[in-house]
Amino acid sequence: MASSKTSKSVTVLGPELRLLEREAQVRTYQPGEIIFSAGDEGDGFYVIVSGRVRISAVTSAQESLSLASIGPGDFFGEMAVVDDAPRSATATAVTKTRTHFVERRKLLQLLERRPRLALGIIREFSRRMRQLNQKYVEEMIHAERMAIIGRFATTIVHDFKVPLAVIRLATDLACSRGTRLPTRVQARAMVAKQTERISTMLQELIDFVRPGGQGPKLRPVKFAPYLNSLRDEVADELAQRGVKLVMATPPPRVPVRIDPLRVSRLFYNLLSNAADEMKSGGEIEMRFRKVGRELLVEVQDHGGGIPPEIANSLFKPFATFGKPNGTGLGLTICRKIAEDHGGRIWATSVPGKGATFAFTLPLAR
**What phi and psi values does residue 302 have, to the nearest 5 degrees?**
-125, 45
In the chain, where are the structural domains located? Answer: 8-113, 142-209, 219-362
pLDDT number for residue 301: 94
CATH topology of domain 8-113: Jelly Rolls (2.60.120)
- What 8-state DSSP symbol labels residue 328? S
Q: How far is CA 204 from CA 159, 230, 330, in A?
A: 12, 19, 10
Q: For the domain 219-362, what is the CATH superfamily, name and number?
A: Histidine kinase-like ATPase, C-terminal domain (3.30.565.10)
Give pLDDT tens digits for 25-40. Answer: 899 999 999 999 988 8
Residue 245 has pLDDT above 50, yes or no: yes
Direct distance between the N- and C-terminal alpha carbons of the chain, in angstroms, rounded to an integer: 86
User: Do 278 and 303 meet the contact criterion of CB atoms below 8 Å apart?
Assistant: yes
Cα 224-225-228 angle, rounded to 5 deg: 85
Residue 157 has pLDDT above 70, yes or no: no
Point out the least confidently predicted range of 135-144, 291-300, 349-358.
Answer: 135-144
* 8-113 shares its CATH topology with 219-362: no
What mean pLDDT comes out for the span 344-351?
Answer: 89
Give 3-state DSSP helix, strand, coil % of the chain, rounded to 5.
45, 25, 30
Containing 182, the helix (H) or strand (E) segment is: helix 181-209
Dihedral sign from CA coordinates of 179, 181, 182, 183: positive
State how far the Cα of 33 lies from the Cα of 25, in Å rounded to an integer. 18
Other residues' Cβ atoms within 10 Å of the Cβ of residue 297: 25
pTM strictly above 0.75 = no
What mean pLDDT comes out for the span 64-78?
Answer: 81
State how far the Cα of 328 lies from the Cα of 310, in Å rounded to an integer. 11
Residue 60 has pLDDT above 80, yes or no: no
